[in-house]
Amino acid sequence: MKYPLTDSPNKQTISETYLPFTDGGIDDCRAPATVQLGVYWREHYAKAQGVPRYKDVELMDLYKIAHLLAVKDVLNGGEDFVNRYWGTELVQALGFEGTGILLSEYEPDDMRIKLFKRYRGVASSHQPASLRNQIEHLQHRNFVTYEVLHVPFMDPARHQISQIVSVFQFNIPLQR
């Protein structure tokens, strides 16, 4: 099935401004890329009658937002996470290549602690989580605004969350 993916959601002009938030869900997303991943995940959720399995996802369905995606493997039930995939737009916006990096290796400490809490929350609740704000923990990128959606996927046997796919839309106009 084809999804309503735009050619380049991170290049679209977003005409309205949005309030920042820190603990949102899938319904709070407004940026084109986060909405697109949300539509994709919900359709797979409906087909699976629950959290979809990662093996049933065809990431080529999301190729138009691949540059905005991060795919994390959940290690030991959320003890750690490793970046399986890190899109090129994340490299540009965040200033580092994350593919193959463990979350436990992230710096600075306060960023790592917040991300562990967020990803463990998604893995344990089996629910998507979203956030819209300005980068706080990377001094060289603290002017960058973003909206992110994290969605969980089950392992093949449906025992636990095995991957979390995140999509980041940068340069969101935030209300101050």
Q: How far apart are CA 168 and CA 146, in angstroms?
A: 7
Beta-strand relationship, 80-86 and 21-24: unpaired
What are the tokens at 160? 């636990």
Model pTM above 0.85: yes
Which domain CATH number covers 110? 3.30.450.20
Q: Is 152 inside any structural domain? A: yes
Q: How far from 124 is each of 44, 58, 129, 154, 161, CA to CA, in Å?
A: 19, 24, 12, 11, 8
- Show the domain range for 36: 19-170
Q: Is 165 inside any structural domain? A: yes
- The tens digit of pLDDT for each residue in 100-146 reads 999 999 988 988 999 999 999 999 999 999 999 988 765 555 578 99
Q: Is 124 inside any structural domain? A: yes
Q: Is 4 inside any structural domain? A: no
Number of domains in the chain: 1
- The tens digit of pLDDT for each residue in 57-105 reads 888 899 999 999 999 999 999 999 999 999 999 998 888 899 999 999 9
List of E strands, the chain = 21-24, 69-75, 80-86, 129-134, 145-154, 161-170
Q: Is 29 inside any structural domain? A: yes
